[in-house]
Structure 1
Amino acid sequence: MPDLDENGCTTINGFNVCEDDFDASPIEGISPFCRRVDADFDCAFNEGEICTTNMDGEETCFQNETIDTNTCEALEQSETCSYVGTECVEGAMSDAGTCYVQTDTYDCGYDATSGTESVQEVLICDGEIQCVGESCYSPQRDEPNSSFAEANAYLQILQYAQNDFTCENIPEESYSEENTPDRYYPTVTCPTGFDYNSASNTCLQQVGECSFDQDNYYAVSSRSGAQIVSEGSTIFENSAITYCTPIDIGGYTYTCGETLQKVANDEFSEICKNTSATAIASSCVTDTHLLKDGICEVPPTSLCPSGYVLTEGDDPWSTDDDICS
């Protein structure tokens, strides 16, 4: 993740981009600039404090100290019960094909002298809830309620929903002269001797050395705004500008150098004088890359047998019209 300034902004490929330019992050508390999140999951979500709200709007909470994570163990060990099958609870299957809540069915033979065969269904959860507030479930008295399984399915699906979203068609690296990636965003370039300034979206070339003394400085303050003093004269003043930014005055662009003094809320920096030039539009700066869908990529290349010459077709992104002759 790039370093952000106090306004939550950074420069990416020559453009000033802020967190407010994006939609809200899908993960609360994570900056939209973040490209990768590593998380350690504790899937024992059915432990600790559990709260429910009844039909009257009254909330009841209790501490679930359950450590038994397999409620089917008694049926698995019973000599009178045999495994019948497993079904994924409706709504508990992820897009990736993972079932987060399943119901196992066991045949425990006859539970009464009437001779009627019974099948007992057990919901596998990470914990065992017998009572919620004053309402308790009695396997011997209460009929099975399929909505309980469905409710638990949705609760558990919420725990894993964040695992199912991915980002596609995003270059993993920015352009670098030292290490050109296979895919990168187009880069703004400048004439020789100029450096791109994202704040002004222009190319700047410094004139002489930056200066700082009582007659030459660039001051900014959250209280009184920006002030530029050159050779003892105030050449710019604006109370609405509270941070260093390039200012065009008399055919030159003035910028902040190193901040050398702080007094209360005021910061005093070197004043730097620059000439400016128009930035060259974003493009692929390497000859091996071409622009495709807003991203610089290396087109596919056909290989010809030894002794044949490759003649590339009109479509650089297809090898179907390439000819080896």
Structure 2
Amino acid sequence: MPEFETLLYEEADGVAWVTLNRPEVMNAFNTVMQRELRDLWRWLRRHDPVRVVVLSGAGDKAFCTGIDRGEAIAEGPRRGRTGRGASDSAGPGASEGGEVRIGSGTTPFMFDDPGSNLGPKSNDLWKPVIAAVNGIACGGAFYMLGEVDFMIAAEHATFFDPHLTFNMAAAFEPLQMTGRMPFGDLVRLTLLGSEERMSARRALEIGLVTEVVPLEELRERSGWAASVIARSHPVAVQGTLRALWAGRELSRSQALAMAWAFVGLGNDPDALEEGQARFASGQRVEWRLR
């Protein structure tokens, strides 16, 4: 198991509890957290005891407030004169006078996106990930929220994108959220920057989150959903997730063309036999109404 400096990790009954643990900066991510999340998602791919993940932030103020502006993380293409006879002595991307070159080296087309390793799907993890949003979620937090499978929010949680308030074009973060909310709501959230925040209640109304609960109930509700999923056969769950995400990201006809493959891969013969025997026995679960 990886060792963590910026994350807390617990594991019980098939559920991994992952907490972004930098409350002193409202759980903003730095390069260490970036690397640790990448390593964690990839390790969980091979760690069979875990079937479901719950992702949250430390404390009660913020889930994540994006990139840690106090640390120099690659920010993508920046405009500036490259200058003739530029020297590398001032460090990568620097030119005479210390001005930053466009992109990486002398080209604007190659750079490291600081959020590219943060999400589970970007690291090919197809175990379900539930976000328990315990406060502010803004900007770079959308790298993670755009790749979780569903969200449960505390009543005081808020969502916004501060980029335009500070004269930065917003691209990667809102694009992560295009399948999460109606287009008009996403445009409004992005263009109004820090001057308007979406409440948890509004997020529920538009389908961004699936449930809103008091903060003190957030862990219990997230844990209940995770425990239900963890009782299902993991291959069937992952096949279902792959199908649903194909439906989100592809055309309907393209996704349907792949459906038989997901069914074939996701139906383990032994597990299927057990499930059919349970159905034939008349055994049924107790259900709850949401």
Pick the TM interval, shorter chain: under 0.3
In the superposition, the TM-score normalised over structure 1's length comes to 0.19
Kindly name which structure, 1 or 2, has the bigger radius of gyration based on alpha carbons.
Answer: 1
In the superposition, the TM-score normalised over structure 2's length comes to 0.20
Q: Which has the higher helix share?
A: 2
Q: Which has the higher strand share?
A: 1
